[in-house]
């Protein structure tokens, strides 16, 4: 019986948490949402390139990754304006 009560409590907590996150979110315009997604994709790409850069020892790959990192930084800088 204790399990039944615990699971109901967990369900109630999850439902309450879902309601809170829905209330706290602000509605974005489609343009703002697309811009946010693009910025997040660039940020994640930059993070992946940095990880690859740390792991590689190949000079050709390193120079390619550094160029990619520079390009990503430039694209991200447009979002800060």
- The answer to whether residue 12 is domain-embedded is no
19-76 pLDDT tens trace: 765 556 678 899 999 999 999 999 999 999 999 999 999 999 999 999 999 999 999 9
Task: Flag whether 47 is in a domain.
Answer: yes
Provide the residue range defining the domain that includes 60.
30-81
- DSSP labels, the chain: -HHHHHHHHHHHHHHHHHHHHHHHPPPPPHHHHHHHHHHHHHHHHHHHHHHHHHH---HHHHHHHHHHHHHHHHHHHGGG-
Kindly report whether the global pTM for this prediction surpasses the value 0.85.
no
In the chain, how many domains are there?
1
Asked if residue 7 belongs to a domain, the reply is: no
In a domain, 74, yes or no: yes
Q: Is residue 44 in some structural domain?
A: yes
In a domain, 15, yes or no: no
User: Per the domain annotation, does 5 fall within a domain?
Assistant: no
């Amino acid at each position: 019986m204790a399990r039944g009560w615990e699971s109901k409590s967990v369900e109630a907590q999850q439902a309450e948490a879902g309601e809170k996150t829905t209330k706290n979110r602000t509605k974005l315009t489609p343009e703002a949402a697309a811009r946010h997604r693009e910025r997040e994709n660039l940020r994640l790409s930059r993070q992946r390139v940095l990880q690859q850069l740390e792991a590689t020892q190949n000079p050709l790959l390193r120079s390619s990754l550094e160029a990619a990192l520079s390009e990503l930084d430039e694209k991200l800088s447009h979002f800060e304006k």
